[in-house]
Structure 1
Amino acid sequence: MWGTYCADVVEKRAPYRQAHLDGLAKQKESGVLITIGPTQDLTKVFGIYEAPDEDTVRQLVENDPYWKNGVWTEYTIKEWIQAF
């Protein structure tokens, strides 16, 4: 999953940050989330999920407080094949 952050991400994410991190921790514990994080310049987010289908990932993204509150402004999901 590649996504884009809003322009004022540091300020806008503050009220939702703990709920966001708590949700990600639960996804990680369940095994569906492999890794996720922002680019160094805080303009993009990148995540790797191991899910049965794209719809599952979409539900996770769209139920995240960052998506619901406009911290993430857009996202795309691409299925990939691990070559190594």
Structure 2
Amino acid sequence: MPKYVLWGTYCDDVLEKRAPYRQAHLDGLAQQKESGVLITIGPTKDITKVFGIYEAEDEATVRQLIENDPYWQNGIWTEYSIKEWIQAV
């Protein structure tokens, strides 16, 4: 199954603005991880970018997961890009 890399950007003042949506966001990620579609995800140390790796049937599936996330729907993630990734090692 193909793998996809996510790079996204957080809003300004992310630590304050994410608070109302954080638990729903984490619960959704836990479900994705349990199902096997999410390999890993997390912020850069400076909390300006998010990085993730997904394993899914197609890019549309990954886009749907991202766009249904409370962080995307509430402007915590402000933009994102997805690239299909070839894991060489």
TM-score for the superposition, normalised by structure 1: 0.99
* Correspondence 1:54 to 2:59: yes
Q: Does the residue aligned with 1:74 lie in a helix, a strand or coil?
A: strand
Give the alignment partner of residue 9 of structure 1, picking from 4, 7, 14: 14
* Residue 30 of structure 1: how far off its partner (Å): 0.1
CA RMSD of aligned residues (A): 0.3
Structure 2 unaligned segments of length 5 or more: list them: 1-5
* Correspondence 1:37 to 2:39: no
* Correspondence 1:77 to 2:74: no
TM-score for the superposition, normalised by structure 2: 0.94
Give the alignment partner of residue 67 of structure 1, picking from 49, 72, 77: 72
Where has structure 1 moved over 2 Å in runs of 4 or more? none
Q: Does the residue aligned with 1:77 lie in a helix, a strand or coil?
A: strand
Q: How many residues align?
A: 84
Q: Which structure would you say has the larger RCO, counting Cα contacts within 8 Å and 6 or more residues apart?
A: 2
Alignment partners' CA distance in 2, 1:75 and 1:8: 18
Alignment partners' CA distance in 2, 1:68 and 1:80: 25
Identity across aligned pairs (percent)? 85
**More strand, by proportion:** 2
* Residue 69 of structure 1: how far off its partner (Å): 0.1
Alignment partners' CA distance in 1, 2:31 and 2:48: 24
- Which residue number in structure 2 is paired with residue 25 of structure 1? 30
Structure 1 unaligned segments of length 5 or more: list them: none
